[in-house]
């Protein structure tokens, strides 16, 4: 008598159900491992990569307005220090967390233990954006100091040692500074005076000189451009009045040379 062979794991069409179950389990397992790996990358690995990219470095702040340069020191222990280069305000220290391409910064008031001035820095390639994912000088841009091209921080145009000198303290990337200097370079009535330009956002010595000059003249320096002619000071640049102010001061010193005193030269 013939014995019938039973295939418990196969249906009538000969499909091995047990094998199918194993394949499904393997696929599900791979998917779960992939999800866990992705989450681990997003929440653990990527923040570490981001931190290593931005930390232990100084970042300089550029924005299309007439305010002083600001620098950020980002540390690997997730603390951050904000410094005003002209010394107008005290340094501020805070902490940050990383979420994707965003650095979420919070500063603290030690006296009240309250959080204040929270904002987001967005990472875009080699730059950081302030409060926006659009990295340009209109929205606010942080540039890593080491990555910036070398710039000449002090330039001189000396035409006559007896003529007045226009001292321009400016910031590299400051649009109002550029507008002022472009006008001065083209203004023929100023061809007989001396021009000395000090870049203060990237040069600590120049920044300190600007602060000393302002203190000597008992003036507040809240930003750049900061122009000094003799003992006269002009802050900022307004195309509707600043050119006339500069020409008036220069003409007064040219016509009355005894009134001219080079204050910057006495401070240097």
pLDDT in tens, 174-198: 888 999 999 998 898 888 889 999 9
Confidence of residue 7 (pLDDT cuts 50, 70, 90): very low
3-class secondary structure, 37: helix
pLDDT by residue (tens digit) across 34-72? Answer: 777 666 655 555 666 666 767 777 777 765 443 446 777
- Please give the sequence-ordered ranges of beta strands (E in DSSP) within the chain, or none if there are none: 57-62, 70-74, 79-84, 92-99, 102-109, 114-124, 127-130, 141-144, 154-157, 165-170, 194-199, 226-229, 232-235
More confident residue, 152 or 161: 161
Q: Per the structure block, which two tokens stand in for 63?
A: 């924005």
pTM summary value: 0.49
pLDDT confidence of residue 54: 72
Distance CA 66, CA 48 (A): 36
Average pLDDT over residues 252-258: 91
| Topology annotation, domain 54-147 | Lipocalin (2.40.128)
* pLDDT (average), residues 99-121: 71
The structural domains of the chain, with segments of one domain joined by +, span: 54-147, 154-267
Supply the pLDDT for residue 13: 53
pLDDT reading at 18 higher than 80: no
- Reported CATH class of domain 154-267: alpha beta
């Amino acid at each position: 008598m013939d014995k019938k062979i039973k295939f418990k794991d196969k249906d009538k069409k000969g499909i091995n159900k047990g094998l199918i179950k194993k394949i499904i389990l393997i696929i599900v397992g791979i998917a779960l491992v992939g999800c866990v790996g992705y989450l681990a990358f997003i929440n653990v690995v990527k923040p570490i990569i981001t931190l290593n990219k931005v930390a232990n470095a100084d970042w300089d702040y550029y924005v299309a307005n007439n305010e002083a340069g600001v620098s950020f020191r980002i540390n690997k222990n997730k603390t951050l220090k904000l410094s005003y280069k002209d010394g107008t305000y005290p340094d501020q220290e805070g902490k940050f967390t990383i979420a994707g391409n965003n650095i979420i910064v919070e500063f603290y008031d030690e006296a009240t233990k309250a959080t204040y001035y929270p904002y987001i820095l967005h990472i875009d390639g080699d730059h950081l954006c302030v409060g926006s994912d659009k990295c340009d000088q209109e929205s606010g841009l942080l540039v890593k100091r080491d990555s910036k091209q070398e710039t000449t921080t002090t330039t001189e145009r000396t035409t006559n040692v007896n003529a007045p000198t226009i001292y321009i303290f400016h910031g590299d990337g400051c649009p109002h500074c550029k507008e002022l200097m472009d006008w001065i370079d083209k203004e023929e009535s100023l061809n007989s005076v001396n021009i000395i330009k000090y870049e203060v956002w990237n040069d600590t010595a120049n920044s300190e000189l600007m602060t000393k000059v302002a203190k000597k003249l008992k003036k507040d320096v809240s930003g750049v451009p900061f122009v000094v002619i003799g003992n006269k000071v002009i802050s900022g640049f307004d195309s509707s009045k600043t050119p006339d102010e500069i020409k008036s001061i220069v003409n007064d010193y040219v016509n009355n040379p005894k009134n001219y005193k080079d204050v910057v030269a006495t401070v240097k």
